[in-house]
């Protein structure tokens, strides 16, 4: 994917703050600290466009980024952070549900799972929720650099089994540190746009 330009648009909490611009979008969701913001930076070849941190629960708003003036990438707030109060957990559910049900141009949702760990009950619920709202769901198994090559298949199989994924369901494993899996994820995103009838230019990145 050739990134001609990308910009941060807005950190939104309520629906009225969502960008009005009528372009398709792809959202990322997952546990707090799983690597959503890092993945956005990796996909866009930027170090600090999306804020990352070692403190879980950092991103609590919906952050919209505009790519090549053609589509949005959307960083959704993370779930599963034990220290947040019950009321903020409920608020989280409301924020996500409002988002998922109100974006006509939402093409697909990418759910991140840490490749090292078995998906949690909340991960399973989230995946089911994505399907329930009519998306295929793309699983991005992150932090691939943290496990040995010989262990990959075992971890991927556990994720597929725990989420009850079918053969056709897509899982891309990747690392935001060494960038493995990046082009495959862009291709997967390009396919999702195509399937929904959007003509987005996913050009092959130039080899440097
Ligand atoms: P919240 O905003 O709290 O929901 O977190 P997030 O999902 O946006 O995670 P973030 O991108 O901030 O990453 C959390 C931590 O994981 C940071 O310390 C990142 O450097 C690290 N991290 C993210 N992706 C990878 C990866 O692929 N490999 C490794 N080794 N570390 C990663
Ligand atoms: Mg984040």
Ligand nearest to the CA of 39: 1
Ligand nearest to the CA of 144: 1
Q: For position 132, what pLDDT does the model report?
A: 94
Q: For position 208, what pLDDT does the model report?
A: 45
What are the extents of the domains in the chain? Answer: 6-195
Nearest Cα to 178, choosing from 153, 204, 144?
144
Q: Which CATH superfamily is domain 6-195 in?
A: P-loop containing nucleotide triphosphate hydrolases (3.40.50.300)
pTM for the structure as a whole: 0.93
Cβ–Cβ < 8 Å for 140, 43 = no
Q: How far apart, in whole angstroms, are the C-alpha atoms of residue 134 and residue 130?
A: 7
SS3 109: strand
Q: How far apart, in whole angstroms, are the C-alpha atoms of residue 114 and residue 33?
A: 9
67 DSSP 8-state letter: E
| Structure-model confidence comparison of residues 121 and 53, the more confident one | 121
**Partners of residue 30 on adjacent β-strands:** 112
Q: What is the mean pLDDT of residues 180-201?
A: 93
**CA 33 / ligand 2 centre spacing (Å):** 7
Q: Give the chain's count of helices (H) and strands (E).
A: 5, 7
CB 63 less than 6 A from any atom of ligand 1: no
CB 51 less than 6 A from any atom of ligand 1: no
CB 59 less than 6 A from any atom of ligand 1: yes
Q: What is the pLDDT of residues 76-119, one digit of tens each?
A: 998 887 666 777 777 788 889 899 999 999 999 999 999 999 99
CB 178 less than 6 A from any atom of ligand 1: no
Q: What is the pLDDT of residues 9-48, one digit of tens each?
A: 999 988 999 999 999 999 999 999 999 999 999 999 988 8
**CA 153 / ligand 1 centre spacing (Å):** 22
């Amino acid at each position: 994917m050739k990134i001609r330009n990308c910009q941060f648009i807005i950190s939104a909490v309520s629906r009225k703050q969502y960008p009005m611009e009528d372009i398709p979008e792809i959202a990322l969701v997952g546990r707090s600290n799983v690597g959503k913001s890092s993945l956005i930076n990796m996909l866009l070849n930027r170090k600090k466009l999306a804020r990352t941190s070692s403190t879980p629960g950092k991103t609590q708003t919906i952050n919209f980024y505009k790519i090549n003036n053609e589509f949005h990438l959307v960083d959704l707030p993370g779930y599963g952070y034990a220290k947040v109060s019950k009321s903020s957990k409920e608020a989280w559910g409301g924020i996500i549900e409002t988002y998922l049900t109100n974006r006509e141009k939402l093409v697909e949702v990418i759910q991140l799972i840490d490749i090292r760990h078995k998906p949690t009950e909340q991960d399973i619920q989230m995946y089911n929720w994505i399907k329930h709202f009519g998306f295929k769901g793309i699983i991005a198994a992150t932090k691939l650099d943290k496990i040995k090559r010989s262990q990959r298949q075992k971890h991927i199989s556990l994720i597929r089994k725990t989420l009850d994924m079918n053969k056709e369901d897509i899982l891309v494993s990747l690392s935001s540190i060494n960038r493995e899996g990046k082009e495959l994820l862009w291709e997967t995103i390009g396919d999702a746009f195509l399937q929904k009838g959007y003509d987005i230019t996913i050009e092959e990145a130039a080899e440097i």
